[in-house]
Every structure is written in C-alpha cells, then in structure tokens.
Amino acid sequence: MVLTFLFFVGIAVVAVWLYITFILRNEVQEAFHQTTEQEALRIAEIVESTPSSAQRIATIRDIADYTGLRITVVSFDSVLIDIYGGQILSDGRLHSREEMRFSSGASVQFAERLDAGIHTYFTAVKRPGSGIVVRIGHPEPPLFALVRRIQMTLIVAMMMALLLAVIGAWIAAGQVTKPLKAIRNSARSISAGDLTEEIIVDSRASEFQDLAESLNQMSDAFREKIGELQRLAQLQNEFIGNVSHEVRNPIFSVGGYLEALASPSLTEQQRRFYAEKGLLNLERLNNLFSDLIEIARLEYQEDLIKPVVFDLRDLSLDVNEFMIGKAEHKGIELVMENAPVQVNADRGRIRQVLVNLIDNAIAYSDEGAVRLRFRRHLDKVRIEVVDLGRGIPEDHLERIFERFHRVDPDRSRKRGGTGLGLSIVKQILHAHGEQINVESTVGRGTRFWFELPFAPSENGDTEA
C-alpha cells in the first residue's frame, strides 16, 4: 500500500521536474534567444548604416558601454571590434567558436559557455549581403537564474513533499494495517475454536468498527449455533440412552416370565399370571416402538400435517368409542362434548392428540370423570381435556412434555406408558403452529388445552 502510494507521488514529482527542466526552461530560453537575436540584428543594421570604419567602432563602443554586453563585430572575416566593459578583447579562437560556425543557410547561432569565469550566452547573427557578423555575449539573464532557483526550490519542496508523503503513507498504512492485523489475529483465534474471542478494533474508522462488529456478530451466531448443536447432541445421547433403557427392561421381563412359564410345577393361576405379565411387557415394547416411529416421522417428514376441515363432534364420538372400554374398566366416566364445530387441521393427528391426553387422564385418575370440551373463541376453537385425577406437581409441569419425563416412572411403566405421549402431543401441535398448555393441582385434577383454527361450515353456520 505504501509502495503504491509512493509510486504515484514519485511519478508526480518526476512529471513536475521534467516540465520545469525541459518545457519551462526551453520556453524561457527561446524567448531570450529571440530577444538577443533582435538585439544583434539591430546592432548589425546600425553598423551597416554607419559608413566609416572609425565611426562604426565608436558606435559599437557606445552601445557596448551603454548595454554592458560583450559585442563582437566581424566584417568579411576580419574582426572589426570585440569589446566588453570598455576593454578591447582579442579572442584567438573566435572563428572556431561554436556560435561563429554558421551551418549552411543559417543566419543566427547560439552558444553558452564560461567566458572569463562568467557563464555567458552568445548570440551571433550574420548579414550575408554586407558580410557583417555581430555577436553579443550576455551574462546569464536574471530570468534564467530565476527559473533555476524555481527549479531548485521545487525540487527541494518536492523532496520534502515526498518525505512527508512517505511518513504520511507510513502512518496511514499503520492505521489501516493495525486494525486489520487485530482482526486477522482474532479471526485466527476464532477459526482455531476460541469462540469467546471478541474482536476489538483500536480505530476510529467506522468501516473497521463495522467490520469488527459484523465479525463479532458472526462469531456470536456461530457460538449460538454450536451451543445449540451441543445441546441437541446431548439431548440425542440422552434420548438414545433412554430408548435403550426402555427397550431393555421389557425384554428382560419377557425373558424372565418365559423362563418362569417353562417351569413344569406351575399352577394354572401362576401360568396365567406370568403369561399376562409377559404380554403386558410386549405391549409396552409395542407402544414404545409405535411412539418412537411416530416421533421420527414427525421429526423428519415436513409434509406430515395435512389439514382438512372436519367436525370435532365426529372426532369426539370416534375417540369416545376408542377409549370408552379403558374408562369403564377403571370406573371413570367419559364426558364428551356434543356440539358441532368445524376446525381446519390434520384429523388423524388431532385424533392422536386427543387419544394421548384422554388416555393419560384416565390412567392418572382413580375416580371421577374425564371431560373433553371445545369452545369457539373468535377464529379459534379451544379444546380441553379435564380430569379429576392425582394432578401434576408444579415443578414437573414444565418438564412433562420432554421425552421420557415422568412424574412417577413406576406407575407410568405399570400402565404400559412410554413417557413419550405428551412429547408427541407437543410435536403434533407445534407442526400445526399451535401449542399445548397445562394447568394442574395435585390431588384435584389436571386440565390440558390447545387451540385449532375454526373453519366455518359451508352453509355459513359459524356457531360452535
């Protein structure tokens, strides 16, 4: 970055220097040449118009005195006069001097060199007709010195500018690279797995702060996602542990009962007892596998919910028929809602929700009634399953929807429960965009409720 910057500054410096050296200087020199050529021509005209040689010399002397220039006049190759500062000079190499060697066709020549220790600019003009050559020697004109001084001043100024540019670029590059290095180091730590690393940029530039903020947000998001994945992995491990435990227990029990059944000395009553126990455990296993398959289907099949419009009263009759045996067996009254109300949901899945809730209500009640109620509230229908059973302690209320969480594991297993029923209920309602709620008082009963979208019947009947 610094090098690029210096490259462009360097190009600018060289361009200015070239302009001053070649263009500006040449223009000044050109103007000077024109002026001196005019001067020399003027002198030549004066010399030509002066008839006698003595007069010519006197005139040239006057002009030389007056202008302070060195003036040389040559007439037909012989030097008429060569005068400077009142001194008559004699230049033995006059005819071989650069300015006096006229190339063919040229009538003016220029040269510059040290003359008596002074940098002198010579201009010689030739008048072919009269054979007169006038040469004037100018000490360096102040304009040339001025251009040189400007040139020197500019070079010094440019050098200083270059130096300042180097320093400025160095500081600027430092300001850019320092936060970038900090960001790079933090990014390396993050990629090495240290997600607690926070990128802090010591720069007021908003771009860097934005960049650091974005990267911090990104690492926060990663941290969250990784935490989530770790939590899921832990849940999965727990789930697998629970499943193997739940599977192993009934299998061992079945094995034990089969062994007992093989004994020849069993009474008929004992045989029936062991056979019933074995079957109960097989039923437990069957329930467990059905629930596990259900969970897997709900988890991995996105299109599992197929909503249709159906009447909850029909469904309640259906569920009543399915559960009545179990309820009667326990001496519990099943009170089902009888009013027609239509909802838009997956009928099969909602049937399963009701079966699971009513099955639990019967299982965890010893007497009284289990009620299924539904009431319309605006564009929703609220469905409740209420029992007068043992209730759920408050500290379990949050957790009963977790897989395999049971308030009383023994009682749950004895009745063939899998500990998965409520988690399936929660999953099904979640897939409908709804949620399951619970309210319970220990010793007095429990109320589960959820909502489904109300669907007006085709004949416009909107009453629940």
Q: Tell me the C-alpha distance between 49 and 66, whole Å.
A: 19
Of the pair 179, 391, the CB lying nearest ligand ADP is at 391
Smaller CB separation from ligand ADP, 48 or 402: 402
Helix, strand, or coil (residue 375): strand
For CA atoms 6, 11, 17, 21, give the dihedral sign: positive
SS3 call for 212 = helix
Residues 384-403 touching ligand ADP, rule: CB under 6 A, are 387, 389-392, 400
d(CA 85, CA 83): 7
The reply to whether 250 sits near ligand ADP by the rule CB under 6 A is no
CB of 188 to ligand ADP, least distance (A): 48
With binding defined as CB under 6 A, does residue 421 bind ligand ADP?
Answer: yes
CA distances from 156 to 3, 13, 65, 150, 343 (A): 21, 11, 39, 10, 90
Q: Are 316 and 384 in contact (CB under 8 A)?
A: no
Structure token pair of residue 96: 């071989």
Both tokens of residue 379?
Answer: 């564009």
Which residues in the 423-462 window bind ligand ADP by CB under 6 A?
A: 423, 446
By CB under 6 A, tell whether 417 contacts ligand ADP.
yes
Q: Does 312 bind ligand ADP (CB under 6 A)?
A: no
**Tokens found for residue 194:** 């240290």
Quick one: 109 or 356, whose CB is closer to ligand ADP? 356
d(CA 54, CA 52): 5
Q: For residue 141, how many other CB atoms are within 10 A of its CB? A: 16
Closest separation between CB of residue 192 and ligand ADP, Å? 43
> Which tokens go with 121?
């600019």
**Minimal distance in Å, beta carbon 358 to ligand ADP?**
9
Beta carbon of residue 277, minimum distance to ligand ADP (angstroms, whole number): 19
* Helix residue ranges, H only, 192-311: 206-261, 268-300
Comparing CB distances to ligand ADP, the nearer of 27 and 408 is 408
Chain centroid, CA 173 distance in Å: 22
Nearer of residues 209 and 352 to ligand ADP, judged by Cβ: 352
| DSSP conformational letter for 454 | B
CA atoms of 406 and 420, how far apart (whole Å): 9
Q: Does 422 bind ligand ADP (CB under 6 A)?
A: yes
Task: Tell me the closest approach of the beta carbon of residue 392 to ligand ADP, in angstroms.
Answer: 5
Q: Which positions from 170 to 189 touch ligand ADP by CB under 6 A, shown as an x/- string? A: --------------------
**Whole-number minimum distance, CB 405 to ligand ADP, in Å?**
6
Taking CB under 6 A as the rule, which mask of x and - marks residues 347-386 in contact with ligand ADP?
A: ---------x---xx--x----------------------
| From 210, 259, 408, 461, residue interacting with ligand ADP (rule: CB under 6 A) | 408
Residue 408: CB minimum distance to ligand ADP, A: 6
How do 369-377 and 437-441 pair as beta strands?
Answer: unpaired
Under the criterion CB under 6 A, does residue 412 sit at the interface with ligand ADP?
A: yes
Query: Looking at beta carbons only, is 75 or 446 nearer to ligand ADP?
Result: 446
Chain residues in the site for ligand ADP (CB under 6 A): 356, 360-361, 364, 387, 389-392, 400, 406-408, 412, 417-423, 446
